[in-house]
Amino acid sequence: MGMHQYLQGLNNLETLNRAPGLFKYQEHSVAAHSFKVAEIAQLLGDIEEENGQTIDWQGLYERALNHDYTERFIGDIKTPVKYATHELRTMLASVESSLTANFIKNEIPTFLQERYQRRLSEGKDETLEGKLLAVADKIDLLYESFGEIEKGNPENAFLEIFAESLKTIMRYQELACARYFIQEILPDLLSEDFADRGKLTQLVRQTLSE
Amino acid sequence: MGMHQYLQGLNNLETLNRAPGLFKYQEHSVAAHSFKVAEIAQLLGDIEEENGQTIDWQGLYERALNHDYTERFIGDIKTPVKYATHELRTMLASVESSLTANFIKNEIPTFLQERYQRRLSEGKDETLEGKLLAVADKIDLLYESFGEIEKGNPENAFLEIFAESLKTIMRYQELACARYFIQEILPDLLSEDFADRGKLTQLVRQTLSE
Amino acid sequence: MGMHQYLQGLNNLETLNRAPGLFKYQEHSVAAHSFKVAEIAQLLGDIEEENGQTIDWQGLYERALNHDYTERFIGDIKTPVKYATHELRTMLASVESSLTANFIKNEIPTFLQERYQRRLSEGKDETLEGKLLAVADKIDLLYESFGEIEKGNPENAFLEIFAESLKTIMRYQELACARYFIQEILPDLLSEDFADRGKLTQLVRQTLSE
Amino acid sequence: MGMHQYLQGLNNLETLNRAPGLFKYQEHSVAAHSFKVAEIAQLLGDIEEENGQTIDWQGLYERALNHDYTERFIGDIKTPVKYATHELRTMLASVESSLTANFIKNEIPTFLQERYQRRLSEGKDETLEGKLLAVADKIDLLYESFGEIEKGNPENAFLEIFAESLKTIMRYQELACARYFIQEILPDLLSEDFADRGKLTQLVRQTLSE
Amino acid sequence: MGMHQYLQGLNNLETLNRAPGLFKYQEHSVAAHSFKVAEIAQLLGDIEEENGQTIDWQGLYERALNHDYTERFIGDIKTPVKYATHELRTMLASVESSLTANFIKNEIPTFLQERYQRRLSEGKDETLEGKLLAVADKIDLLYESFGEIEKGNPENAFLEIFAESLKTIMRYQELACARYFIQEILPDLLSEDFADRGKLTQLVRQTLSE
Amino acid sequence: MGMHQYLQGLNNLETLNRAPGLFKYQEHSVAAHSFKVAEIAQLLGDIEEENGQTIDWQGLYERALNHDYTERFIGDIKTPVKYATHELRTMLASVESSLTANFIKNEIPTFLQERYQRRLSEGKDETLEGKLLAVADKIDLLYESFGEIEKGNPENAFLEIFAESLKTIMRYQELACARYFIQEILPDLLSEDFADRGKLTQLVRQTLSE
């Protein structure tokens, strides 16, 4: 046993891609996603603190970092929206639970088991940190789908995923950070300057005339 | 509706890779796997015919070609061996069933529904063709894992997958084609000539002396 | 000898990509293409049967599955249109013929040679199944090129390939399935809903107002 | 301005690979590396706590997560060992400093600047958390190089990188977690069961005889 | 020592990609870039010769081919524009100088050192050949960025890179080849025929009516 | 017309890979290969000059750089050895000839046609520079195959390609540079230090004891 297997296993989260089966210009691994969700959760925690809330930072980072670790066992099958039925989600919670219990029993040294039991259980709950994780997870999914749309992916599923992510974020509008995202960040996303042939021709004319 | 969506959806089986989460030197898509299983089933059918059996070729090809189409809905999560518990398999059969029924109802024109209902249901059964599909599916899995081992993949799961595939093929030894595989093909696989540094040095000495 | 080499060689068709030399967002291997052509031929066979024709299903599947196996020897060089001169095509038929004869003599056990001689010879002929293969091959090529155009590929060759594929399908309009493709499937392809920034902005406005 | 640019910019850390210029079977992005370093730092913090130390968890997670964010500006050029001269490192610290200051001034809203100033400055210092970051960073580098060696990469640089990483970890042996890594984890890494042809042949013999 | 290490090291320039950190549909290695710059410099030399200039062809080819060899040591960090400050460029010239001197001393046999000293020093100077290298390098960068824009890359940096490249080329308008590029080649680039959905629909209508 | 098409077409040589159809850990594009052959030819020219020969450097560089440009039309099908029959080679020379003539007539401005006619014709002839190209081309092929063998590729074709390349180089032993390669470079290649598990374990023991 020992933690060598655990450390080497982190590599699986690098080779596991999200939302398999749809063509994407850019794939996103579970490892990269976890990094980004932690970065986003960190920002949401900032905004809540600036608005007078108290953040349990250890809890926030811990939830964000580990929230998809258990995808190592089954892969990413909760997305895209179209096939993520309620039936499927319930099943997964159940199977992931028992695979996780097995994993902890067999691969984690006894003196660390309690910590990993906590880390590998569901992080999205009614605490403030649990809510920030839920919002952060959706913000990353929103950016993943926006990334595909702005790169030219014609697949409609990305519009659906974007919309569904936004709806979920809107359900958390009692939180200052959710309001900040919708009022300060989302408008910049929609009105961002982007390159295209029209701008290129314009730029060339400008440059040649100087 | 119409079959445009169905045809375009074949593309998803090209972007869906098998056994996600393990490092592989070469990934295998569900589309490529289906091609190979059909090729292998075709060979198994040959051997059975040569041994006096009657083959329903339409049934054999149809089963082999379509046997993993439904992975389009959930992805490939039955492998690797380590996590494919009985609990998980049962769940998947159930969910795949209802996603498949939905898919046929919404995307397949009525006059074709019966054909696709047949094609997208379980092809591995007690008929000779159903057994040939089961053997062909495992032969491809055996070659996938052998491919990784011979390329240098240190991951033990591939040894386990190879062994489990071989055991399953052995359970079909009442079939002439399964015996043919074990007696004629497997020995060649194990004793194949392969390149390495030792052979290179030897070859260089030989060439320089000519 | 033996069939181990044949089975392992199927892997080469997975690493061989079609239409090399043009930038593509998504490459298509000969293995995946063969899978799709078999799926499409299967559908064309359905439509012909629904229209009163008798289909030799073994012949149809066999032709579709194996029609590009010989690309293993030379690669895919019949496309794109621009360079596929009549001179080149004639040459290839001749060379592929002799490489195929060699391959069968050296790698296929005697008792299976007749079957593979049949499978690795030209499948597009004047039989109904031969015509369905020709149509299916072009439908997949049409979808490959459409896939690139809708993803944003500026390369004009894809428009030429699409047009040439459509022209070929139109030459088979005496077949019910060719007419079905042009009248029922092609309009859906041209009018499909696709994601873009405009729709995204619209969707966001809609979501925010709910 | 706003945090939209910051969030979208996280994507750059996904496309930025470490140690460019050496052939690798598996590339590692800065995003994935940051995830793994945070996971490893989390484990090191566990061990220190179990050994009676007090961990500032917010500080630990914050340092680990953000420690390579500034590679977004220049890329990863401190590795591999061979070219990472002292001259180069000093230069980079200086340039990264001014690019970082620029970035914070132009892209981070004023009310968040102090937080990001802290996050994007050097996290490896004499605090316990700073030391855990230094050790975690090297443990991941050790696993990256081990990963290449065990997959068959002949490039000697990976042996050098492994050795240099181990030496650095050894310099921290006053920490319980560094000793734990060397005494409990490293032996398992060196003696791990790995797949190869020899074991395959053995396994086949075993399976056939059952 | 010996030139084996040098020859094997050319492989590093194949695995090293330019402008790391930005999402690209198509990456360009330093090796491929060097090939293209040599091809472009060859064309510029043609045009200058046609305009009565005398070209030192050995000097031109030598400069073009080897101009980015030293990126093997540090990687490509002079681009993109946004981060390539004057401070950074000066530093690099200095570090590259000493890494290059080291490399020549340790890996190049004495009898070849003078040649490589010349090849691995700065090729862009006030000679005609040095100027042609500067122009060729920018023309390739212009085509790299144009390639991304026309494929649909929304990233504004590519517009900036295109513009900056064009400005640099314009500074060389005393050269006939720079004027030829701006007057004869650039207009064709801006007005090139490219595929899109609109043209596809038009083409289909045309084809169906024939 | 104009040279815009020519310049943009260089991109095709970046997306065209050599020896398609065999599994490789690392693909090599025609563009990268051309770069390396030019670098190798440059070295061979050095050695010949050091041995008293006169080199037409313009001719040498020109041949090396452009020698595979015409693969843009058909792709790389002269390799691997197994299928490159004499019949195929003769055919290709003929087809490439006419495609090349077409290309020059339609895409190259009249005032440059003679230069490109020369560049796109066969560069391997009885001149010293033509022989150096032949040797350089084989040295790169030898390194490509060695690269796969040392990375662990079990495919025997790479041993055959290595041997065939070496035999060809040996036929040029009247040249000082061919003798230099065999006597000074090849021994270093065969005896190079390479990483493996054995050395890793040894290195760890050494490091721990310091």
Decide if C27 touches E, using CB distance below 8 A.
Answer: no
Q: Chain F, 50-109: which have a CB under 8 Å from a chain C CB?
A: 72-77, 83, 85, 87-88, 91, 94-95, 98-99
pLDDT of E55 strictly over 50: yes
What is residue A121's DSSP assignment? S
Q: What is the pLDDT of residue A35?
A: 98
pLDDT of E8 strictly over 70: yes
Amino acid, res. C40: I
Q: In the structure encoding, which two tokens stand for residue F149, read together?
A: 């063998």
CATH of the domain at A23: 1.10.3210.10
End-to-end CA gap in chain E: 69
Cβ of C20 within 8 Å of Cβ of F21? The answer is no
Interface test with E, best of F18, F47, F56, F61 (most E CBs within 10 A): F61
| Rounded Cα–Cα distance for residues D89 and D194 (Å) | 37
What is residue B125's DSSP assignment? S
Cβ of F190 within 8 Å of Cβ of B199? The answer is no
Mean pLDDT of all residues in C44-68:
98
| Rounded Cα–Cα distance for residues A208 and E16 (Å) | 33
Q: What is the pLDDT of residue C170?
A: 97
Interface test with E, best of D73, D90, D148 (most E CBs within 10 A): D73
Share of chain C above pLDDT 90, in %: 77
pLDDT of chain D, 210 residues: tens digit per residue: 679 999 999 999 999 999 998 999 999 999 999 999 999 999 999 999 999 999 999 999 999 999 999 888 877 765 444 455 677 677 777 778 888 999 999 999 999 999 999 999 989 999 999 999 999 999 999 999 999 999 999 999 999 999 999 999 999 999 999 999 999 999 999 998 889 989 999 999 999 998
Q: What is the pLDDT of residue D81?
A: 43
D31, containing H or E segment: helix D30-50
Chain segment C186-204, per-residue pLDDT in tens: 999 999 888 998 999 999 9
Count of domains for chain A: 1
E67-76, F109-118, F198-207: least confident range: E67-76
Closest Cβ–Cβ partner in A23, A149, A166 for C195? A149
pLDDT of E25 strictly over 80: yes
Q: What angle do CA B119, B125, B130 make, to 5 degrees?
A: 70
| Rounded Cα–Cα distance for residues A159 and A167 (Å) | 12
Torsion-angle region of F158 (φ positive above 0: left; ψ -120 to 50: alpha; else: beta): alpha
ω into residue A154 within 30 of 0, thus cis? no
Q: Partners of B178 in the beta sheet?
A: none
Q: In the structure encoding, which two tokens stand for residue F66, read together?
A: 């452009």
Q: In the structure encoding, which two tokens stand for residue D33, read together?
A: 């590396």
E25 contacts in C (CB within 8 Å)? 23, 25
Residues of chain B with pLDDT under 70: 1, 77-85, 88
Q: Chain E, 176-195: which have a CB under 8 Å from a chain F CB?
A: 184-186, 188-189, 192
Closest-CA distance, E189 to chain F, in angstroms, reads 6
Query: Which candidate, B27, B36, B45, B95, places its Cα nearest to that of B67?
Result: B36
Q: What is the pLDDT of residue C154?
A: 95
Mean pLDDT of all residues in E4-20:
94
Residues of chain A with pLDDT under 70: 1, 77-85, 88
Q: What is the pLDDT of residue C88?
A: 66
Decide if E166 touches F, using CB distance below 8 A.
Answer: no
Q: In the structure encoding, which two tokens stand for residue F172, read together?
A: 């040029």
Q: What is the pLDDT of residue C151?
A: 96
**For chain C, how big is the Rg over CA atoms in Å?**
20
| Rounded Cα–Cα distance for residues A140 and A198 (Å) | 30
**Contact present, F77 and C83 (Cβ < 8 Å):** no
The ipTM, to two decimals, is 0.94
F161, containing H or E segment: helix F157-170
Residue partners of E176: CB distance under 8 A and separation at least 6: E47, E48, E50, E51, E53
Closest-CA distance, B5 to chain C, in angstroms, reads 8
Q: What is the pLDDT of residue B88?
A: 67
Closest Cβ–Cβ partner in D35, D43, D186 for A35? D35
Cβ of F170 within 8 Å of Cβ of B203? The answer is no
Q: In the structure encoding, which two tokens stand for residue F141, read together?
A: 């092929």
Phi/psi at C65 (5° precision): -65, -40
Quickly tell me which residue has 């499948």 as its tokens.
C123
Mean pLDDT of all residues in C72-80:
67
pLDDT of C152 strictly over 90: yes
Beta strand residue intervals within C58-152, DSSP E = none
Decide if D203 touches B, using CB distance below 8 A.
Answer: yes
Give the other-Cβ count within 10 Å of A205's Cβ.
10
F152, containing H or E segment: none
Quickly tell me which residue has 């977004």 as its tokens.
D72
| Rounded Cα–Cα distance for residues F124 and F77 (Å) | 18
Nearest Cα residue in chain A from D27: A14
Does the CA dihedral D117-D120-D121-D123 come out positive or negative?
A: positive
Q: What is the pLDDT of residue C77?
A: 65
Query: Which candidate, C206, C41, C50, places its Cα nearest to that of C140?
Result: C41
Chain segment A4-21, per-residue pLDDT in tens: 999 999 999 999 999 999
Phi/psi at D17 (5° precision): -100, 150
- Domain of C71, in residue numbers: 4-209
Cβ of A150 within 8 Å of Cβ of E154? The answer is yes
Phi/psi at E17 (5° precision): -100, 150
Q: Partners of B29 in the beta sheet?
A: B17
| Rounded Cα–Cα distance for residues D8 and C202 (Å) | 21
Q: Partners of F17 in the beta sheet?
A: F29
